[in-house]
Amino acid sequence: MVENLNNYDFNEFQSYLISGDYEKCSEFINTLLNEDVDIKQIYDGLLKKSLYNIGELWENGKITVATEHLASAIVETIMNDIYLKIIRQNKINKTAVLACTENEFHQIGIKMVNDIFEKNGWHVHFLGAGTTTEELISSIGFIHPNIVAISLSIPFNLPSFEKMLTKIRAQYPDLYIFVGGQAFLHGGFEILKKFQNIIYIADINELDEFLQMEMKDKN
């Protein structure tokens, strides 16, 4: 298995994204998959990195918001294609519910989290973006998950994130909650210290290691 993406031209893929060329992007990704490049490398080292760079280009006025949105849509489509290649048919007896913070509409990060849970054989209920706190709590009550994972992309939504955690804890004081997302690059850890059984996950590599270690502990 290829350990990294050093043998491939990152800028080439990013240029395909910026130009909105789904076919070239898909061809690039399929080459990586055929060379057995690790899915985590593709997600974290290529897709996420490309979108971060494209986001910076938009913030600096070098590309339009339409270009940024199209790049995000292409990445989501590519991830849908990859999903069929990594989903495990032999599931374990573990369930996770995944959602974005209320008022968040960026769901690519939590979709990557979804695929890592799926790769490790979990039953996953993906609620995604646009999920209200009430909808999430209702889903928890219906599904009874082992873990809830919540993504926070925009620091502006930290107050909504804290309210969501407070309401979940009021009804489910012992439920394990994984949190992560780009917003934590700018702070927010003081909020996590207010609650028990909250686990910050920095990236999908750390998540994958955590889930695999948990499986070893259970065996």
Q: What is the pLDDT of residues 11-70, one digit of tens each?
A: 899 999 999 999 999 999 999 999 889 999 999 999 999 999 998 999 899 999 999 999
Alpha carbon distance 71, 22 (integer Å): 9
pLDDT band at 7 (very low <50, low <70, confident <90, very high): low
pLDDT band at 4 (very low <50, low <70, confident <90, very high): low
Are 103 and 81 part of one and the same domain?
no
- Looking at residue 214, its pLDDT comes to 72
Are 30 and 74 part of one and the same domain?
yes
Q: Is 123 helix (H, G, I), strand (E, B) or coil?
A: strand
Are 75 and 140 part of one and the same domain?
no
How many domains does one find in the chain? 2
Are 80 and 24 part of one and the same domain?
yes
* Mean pLDDT, range 125-153, rounded to an integer: 96
Are 171 and 138 part of one and the same domain?
yes
CB atoms within 10 A of CB 177: 22
Q: Tell me what percent of the residues of the chain surpass a pLDDT of 90.
A: 80
| Residue 153 CA from chain centroid, whole number | 10
Alpha carbon distance 117, 98 (integer Å): 10
Are 108 and 137 part of one and the same domain?
yes
Q: Is 31 helix (H, G, I), strand (E, B) or coil?
A: helix
The residue among 86, 121, 148 that closes a domain is 86
Are 38 and 101 part of one and the same domain?
no
Alpha carbon distance 181, 200 (integer Å): 9
> Is the pTM of the predicted complex or chain greater than 0.75?
yes
Range of the domain at 59: 10-86
Q: Is 99 helix (H, G, I), strand (E, B) or coil?
A: strand
